[in-house]
């Protein structure tokens, strides 16, 4: 009778150990998949930011380069954090299995600690990724708006033109474009003939 009871206890302990091992494997797999998804999203976001930055005008390139470098550093930091979290959790699982061999009570307690650690790690990763994405997206929007608000000069090679050549290019311009060219002429060469001609055209529009 005692042998049968002992065998039943051993069988129950074996089934419990197998169930617990399966649970740990599932948790570990979910943690690894979550980390991979975070890395994939970070890569996609970084590629989107880089694509948008390449479309900025010359005046915004310095700020865009700094923003790209910042996004890269944030991506590397998130990867390092995810890698360290997975490694730390794997080490915890190994320790938990070792403790289980010394008693089922200790193994159950370790499982509860593991679940809390996984929840904290996942929350931290999501918070870090959301914060970095918000900061990077805000900086990108600011750079794009600044570039969009800067009007382009309407006459290419204007500085190399004489008065006659420049005058021929003014006929089809709007009042806003004429004012832009006039301001530039007044700040630089200050040719009175051109300034008077542009003033007449602006008044006529």
Q: Which fold has domain 2-149?
A: 1.20.120
Residue 161 exposed, middle or buried by CB count within 10 Å (0-12, 13-18, 19+):
middle
Domain boundaries, the chain: 2-149, 158-204
Angle at 142 between CA 140 and CA 143, to 5 degrees: 65
* pLDDT for position 15: 87
Averages of pLDDT over each 10 residues, the chain, 205 residues: 76 85 81 84 80 71 75 82 73 66 58 62 55 48 46 82 90 90 93 94 88
If one counts every other C-beta atom within 10 angstroms of the C-beta of residue 139, the result is 17
Beta strands in the chain (DSSP E): none
**Residue 190 φ/ψ region, left for φ over 0, alpha for ψ in the -120 to 50 degree band, beta for the rest:** left
Encoded tokens for 53: 């930055």
**Cβ neighbours of residue 101 under 8 Å, at least 6 residues apart?**
none
d(CA 155, CA 177): 9
Give the distance from CA 94 to its chain's centroid: 34
Q: Determine the angle formed by the axes of helices 61-101 and 104-149, rounding to 10 degrees.
A: 170
3-state secondary structure of 174: coil
What pLDDT does residue 76 have? 85
**pLDDT computed for residue 149 by the predictor:** 47
| Residue 118: per-residue pLDDT | 58
69/54 Cα distance (integer angstroms)? 13
């Amino acid at each position: 009778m005692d042998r049968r009871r002992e065998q039943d206890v051993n069988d129950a302990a074996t089934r419990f150990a197998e169930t617990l091992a399966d649970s740990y494997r599932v948790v570990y797999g979910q943690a690894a998949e979550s980390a991979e998804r975070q890395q994939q999203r970070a890569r996609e976001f970084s590629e989107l930011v880089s694509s948008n930055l390449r479309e900025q005008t010359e005046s915004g390139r310095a700020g865009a380069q700094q923003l790209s470098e910042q996004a890269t550093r944030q991506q590397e930091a998130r990867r390092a954090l995810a890698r360290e979290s997975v490694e730390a959790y794997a080490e915890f699982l190994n320790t938990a299995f070792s403790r289980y061999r010394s008693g089922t009570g200790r193994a159950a307690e370790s499982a509860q600690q593991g679940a809390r650690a996984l929840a904290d790690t996942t929350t931290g990763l999501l918070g870090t990724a959301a914060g970095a994405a918000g900061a990077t997206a805000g900086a990108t929007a600011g750079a794009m708006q600044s570039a969009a608000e800067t009007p382009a000069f309407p006459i290419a090679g204007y500085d190399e033109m004489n008065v006659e050549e420049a005058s021929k290019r003014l006929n089809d311009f709007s009042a806003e474009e004429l004012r832009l060219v006039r301001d530039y002429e007044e700040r630089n060469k200050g040719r009175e003939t051109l300034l008077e001609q542009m003033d007449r055209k602006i008044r006529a529009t």
